[in-house]
Structure 1
Amino acid sequence: MLNSVDVRTTETRTVPTMWNLLETYVATKADERAFIFLGPDNVEQEVLTYGALHRLAVAYGKQLRLATQPGDRAILMFPTGLSFIVSFLACHFAGVVPVPMVPLKGQRLRDTVLAIAENCAATVVMTTSEQSEFLKSQLSVLPTYADAGFIGVNVDLECPPVTSNDTPHPAQLSELAFIQYTSGSTSVPKGVMVSHANLAANLEMMTIAYENDQYSSYVGWAPLYHDMGLIANVLEPFYLGTLCVLMAPNLFAHRPWLWLKAISDYQAHVSGGPNYAYDLCIERAEEILEMGFDLSSWRVAFNSAEPVRAETLRRFTAAFMPLGFRPQTFYPCFGMAEATLLITGGTRAQVPLIENLSRTGLANGMAIEANDPKDTIEVVGCGQVLQQEDIRIVDPHSTIEKPDGEIGEIWVAGPHIPFGYWNNPVSSKETYQATIAGSIGPRFLRTGDLGFMQAGELYVTGRHKDLIIVRGHNVFPQDLEFIAERAAPGLKRNSGAAFAIEDPSDGQQTLCLVQEVMLSQRYTIDVDDTIKAIRQAIMKETDITVHKIILVQPSSIPKTSSGKIRRAETKKRYIDGTLLVVQAQSSAATRQKATA
């Protein structure tokens, strides 16, 4: 058992493993509903009580034992649904390490899936019965999977009662609870080794930060192979012993009002997603308001995984206050798979902190107040340091700690920080064994994200690897992308990539921006006028000239399985001339190779 201190009560309480929790729930509330999965139109498609979840997890856990040894890995490849949760807990029963993985459909993400599968070297693959044969054929190209077992999981399985002989694996807190592969936005996905102790510590941190209790019901739509979907939307409500309602990501993407409908129908307390999720709802606000939802139960609307935009917070609050949404419900926070999940967060009664800072100052590494409206940029605070945690802002090159108000790399230490990446000792040492210059203190996780601290609040400014340097000034690509996608009609949101290309002859940087157009506009958009509008908007707000602006077809820009822009891969495709470009003449063919 893991002992942790609850800062609200200063009492020490014992935090069990996920299987220990399930056994407790079976003994105290076996017939209560634990998980609900919603199908089209939010009709309840799958339901699991704690008792049914336990019986299914034991049944499939016993199947796992026939094909594995404790410590073996099992790939979990499911569309969003309750079979994933059954499989995750079945792995814990058998002492097998679950490896959540994005579902493979045709050639989509095939290279990523194969790279992850090869790295984790799983003994067994758990999936739906319908997908089993397809996955066998796809993974058979890897020698490791020639003899792998495949288990089809069905939540409607009629399984026998659990007997006294069905003894779970006696997990130690140092053992792995799962391996979470990173999104791969700046590199090949790497498997974060999350122990039972890491997981328990982060779930307790989340409980305290969100002020959760056993009644804090959840609604979630993020994919379950992603750290936000798994930990924030499934394991945290399971940790609390409260109801969790899930829906498919594609259902949300096409009909975002169903997310708010689920919150209203189940009077959920906690639900959230990346910034773009709130933008999608804003775009359909007029329709949503007519539906008359009740959002007054919503206490924590976490906003994370990509830059949090002040404009989005204001517009969403203004749009949905008539439905009971409150400004303080918004909960900007910062987290990542390498830290299990949550790193910083605020308090539930606090409205988001928004600072008006000098864009020029930020470009020079300093958070200073803006004196010129043309030089102003809004930066949203992502919360404070959480219990038992240590956060420092460090120069990524010299490893010297920076004072408040100066931008550096965000470093984190604490009980929730895993030991490293699976089967990757070089990256593990680089990322998880960092020390501050001149310090004999703890070893830190290098997040790779840039930010600064101000009065105890963390402000995140961007990824270190994505940072662009133009004429000696730092440029954050997400700022240019945000301006570009709003500069003219017909441009797709969250679908732009800014990057720089260096001329090897003179070292000069060419600043490039690739932007997708909407599907409905790909034949009619005025390319020349749109490019002109983007260039002028960026110049007006940042005094930066973008040398090359390319409009491309929908779905041309590569993204991770969780929807993050892969800027390095976009840059590669630009250089290779393989982007699908929208031609200047709308009547002409719509595809050509991009050239530098």
Structure 2
Amino acid sequence: MTGAPGAAPSPLLSWLTAPRTDRGMRFARGSGGWDLYTYADLAHLVSLASAAFRARALPGRPGVVLATPNSVGFVTGYFGAVNAGLVPTAIAPPARFGGREDYVRHVARVLRLTRASAVVGDPVHLTVLTDAAEAAGEDGGAPVAVLSSDFSTGTETDRLSAVPGSELATLQFTSGSTSSPRGVRITWANMEANARGNGRLIDYDATRSTVSWVPMYHDLGLVGCLMTIVAQQGELSLMRPEQFIYDPRRWVDCIAREGMAYTAAPSFGFAYAARRLKPEDLKGADFSTLRSATLGAERHDPRGLWEFTELCEPYGFDPAVFTPCYGMAEMTLGITGHAPGTVPQAVHLDWESLTPEQPVKVLARGTLRDAGAADSPAQWLVGSGLPIEGVSVAVVDGEGRPLPDGYLGELVLSGSSAAAGYEPPDAESSSRFVDGRVYSGDAGFLLDGQTYVLGRLGDALSVRGRNIYAEDLDARLADTPGVDRYRCATLVDARRIVVLAEHEPGPWAERLAEALSLYIGGVVDVTVVSCRRGTIQRTSSGKPRRRPMLTQYLEQKLPGEVVAHRPRRPEEG
């Protein structure tokens, strides 16, 4: 394929035309072991995938949707679509959704939005993808080809090029924590700038290996792991999220027994590994080769991170490798990050005095070590570091006016990573693009250059002029004995707090309801709902999809049993 008019070679695609035979990627097998592909092997499969897409491309339909897990099929399908001059979009495979009908509707919507010529999935998922393709064409649209992610059986190849065939690199579907998923238009210039900034943040060295289980349909997986690494043809070991959940030791062993230098995960991944592993599992382990453990996708949990540190520190783990970051798809991925080398900073806040557009009261300053070892880690907030190269961060009030250092407001972002808008352009979102800047919809503040993120403005409860964020309430769940905060989600609006807990009914529920009611001063109803595993709907990054679940709860469509309730106290208004 020829590139777009005026297009230049991309550093993210240069490996296609000069692939190395001594480096590559390996993909975890379900039964154990790994499948290794050199960059030369991958380039050959990309040429086969490109030919397959080109043969099925339809005029005016430039999209290719990849509903595949972390696999060789995803990598070769993604770059094969690019080489064919098409625009790839990664979405979750069927296993990440609770019901077939919901998934079919979701994929059909994405196929229409991306104007897809083809959808790709593992062979076992082709039936459900066929149903989605048929649903997408019910309004008279062109038929969508359904392709297996195994491109090795192809016979026709395409010439490979480092020149993108489209200005658009991908449509990145956002996690959908506050609204329906929507596509973010990410250009090659965005992708290249952000991958470069991410790599410089962690001082990435392609001679050292990386392991990740973060899914490729999330921007942390696609940009932070895949694109950052292929730009330099680095070694990458990819697991699937379900493989990590089943056996977190496999991920830890890659780091501590195979000497890998880089990894990335949300905070809950480290907390989960700490809960599942025992000291005897780490006998002979050595974490001293780890240079950066990037933390993304959620507010950083000092308790869980410190549990992992206490477990692994005797085996050479250094908490200074933690690299807490702040990112969002609207900025391609990375916005800020704490460069590895020192233990991340943290502040102990006076949470009861938090008021929008007013100074934040800091009771103590310290590090992740201080926060994690505190009696109540939920009182501490871990910093997300400094802006990465090419990105600027500001804090503004409700009128968009800049606020001074240390004042609470909305985080506003700009720079070369700012995406080109939404698809559809009028997509409903609490984040928004205005004059080249991204108004994030996130509450936070800057302090001595560090960025601190509290939570979504739309998921906050106003109590006597101060905001209480759903993320703050989530963090406080861990202070209640018998409650696993990672199996809970807090939903809020102006009249109520609803805690969904994937726990059997028990005395924990009354304790939890009472603790939250006391914390918020009894100004709203507090209800605790016991529900079965899998009830809590989560985004691609593991965040609760709060607004859709609250709507379902109010419409009595969310299964579960009310096990505790504290009504609003009338004397509180």
TM-score of the two chains, using structure 1 as the length reference: 0.84
Residues in 2 aligned to 1:562 and 1:544: alpha-carbon distance in whole angstroms: 32
**Quick one: which of 19, 24, 45 aligns to 2:13?**
19
Secondary structure at 1:272 match in 2: strand
Alpha-carbon offset, residue 403 of structure 1: 0.6
Aligned residue in 2 for 1:151: 147
Instruction: Give a deviation string over 1:496-533, Cα, whole Å, max 9, x none.
Output: 12302xxxxxxxx4332222133xxx2xx32xx32321
Pair 1:51 & 2:40 matched: yes
Equivalent pair of 2:267/2:298 in contact (CA under 8 Å):
yes
Distance 1:393 1:15, change over 3 A: farther
Equivalent pair of 1:420/1:429 in contact (CA under 8 Å):
no
**Quick one: which of 544, 560, 567 aligns to 2:546?**
567
Equivalent pair of 1:139/1:145 in contact (CA under 8 Å):
no
Moved more, 148-157 or 232-241: 148-157
Aligned residue in 2 for 1:556: 535
Identity of aligned residues (%): 24
- Stretches of structure 1 that go unaligned for 5 or more consecutive residues are 1-13, 435-442, 501-508, 586-596
Residues in 1 aligned to 2:257 and 2:440: alpha-carbon distance in whole angstroms: 38
Equivalent pair of 2:215/2:221 in contact (CA under 8 Å):
yes
Aligned residue in 2 for 1:6: none
Instruction: Give a deviation string over 1:465-488, Cα, whole Å, max 9, x none.
Output: 112112332111111122224413
Instruction: Give a deviation string over 1:560-594, Cα, whole Å, max 9, x none.
Output: 24321011112112211223223659xxxxxxxxx
1:403-442 paired onto structure 2 within 5 Å: 403-425=404-426, 431-434=432-435
Residues in 2 aligned to 1:296 and 1:145: alpha-carbon distance in whole angstroms: 55
Alpha-carbon offset, residue 56 of structure 1: 0.9
Which AA in structure 1 matches 2:309?
T
Aligned residue in 2 for 1:538: 516
Equivalent pair of 1:116/1:189 in contact (CA under 8 Å):
no
Pair 1:392 & 2:394 matched: yes
Distance 1:167 1:302, change over 3 A: closer
Residues in 2 aligned to 1:262 and 1:159: alpha-carbon distance in whole angstroms: 36
Alpha-carbon offset, residue 233 of structure 1: 2.1
Which AA in structure 1 matches 2:242?
N
Equivalent pair of 1:412/1:445 in contact (CA under 8 Å):
yes
Aligned residue in 2 for 1:480: 473
Residues in 2 aligned to 1:532 and 1:54: alpha-carbon distance in whole angstroms: 58
Which AA in structure 2 matches 1:16?
S
Aligned residue in 2 for 1:577: 556
Residues in 1 aligned to 2:417 and 2:9: alpha-carbon distance in whole angstroms: 13
Aligned residue in 2 for 1:332: 324
Alpha-carbon offset, residue 285 of structure 1: 3.5
Q: How many residues align?
A: 539
Alpha-carbon offset, residue 55 of structure 1: 0.9
1:150-299 paired onto structure 2 within 5 Å: 150-154=146-150, 156-157=152-153, 166=159, 168=161, 170-171=163-164, 175-286=167-278, 289-299=281-291
1:91-102 paired onto structure 2 within 5 Å: 91-102=81-92
Residues in 2 aligned to 1:70 and 1:387: alpha-carbon distance in whole angstroms: 36
Equivalent pair of 2:303/2:377 in contact (CA under 8 Å):
no
Instruction: Give a deviation string over 1:87-137, Cα, whole Å, max 9, x none.
Output: 011011111100111113523544433332222121111223333343112
Residues in 2 aligned to 1:159 and 1:264: alpha-carbon distance in whole angstroms: 41
Pair 1:103 & 2:107 matched: no
Residues in 1 aligned to 2:244 and 2:402: alpha-carbon distance in whole angstroms: 42
Equivalent pair of 2:15/2:39 in contact (CA under 8 Å):
no
Distance 1:542 1:291, change over 3 A: farther
Residues in 1 aligned to 2:40 and 2:377: alpha-carbon distance in whole angstroms: 59
Alpha-carbon offset, residue 291 of structure 1: 4.7
Equivalent pair of 2:182/2:422 in contact (CA under 8 Å):
yes
The alignment's C-alpha RMSD in Å is 2.8
Aligned residue in 1 for 2:450: 457
- Stretches of structure 2 that go unaligned for 5 or more consecutive residues are 1-7, 365-374, 565-573
Aligned residue in 1 for 2:119: 125
Pair 1:512 & 2:506 matched: no
Which AA in structure 1 matches 2:531?
Q
Instruction: Give a deviation string over 1:268-316, Cα, whole Å, max 9, x none.
Output: 1111211111110121242564453322211111111111022223222
Pair 1:446 & 2:448 matched: no
Equivalent pair of 2:66/2:78 in contact (CA under 8 Å):
yes
Residues in 1 aligned to 2:431 and 2:179: alpha-carbon distance in whole angstroms: 14
TM-score of the two chains, using structure 2 as the length reference: 0.87
Which AA in structure 1 matches 2:511?
A
The structure whose RCO (Cα within 8 Å, separation 6+) is larger is 2
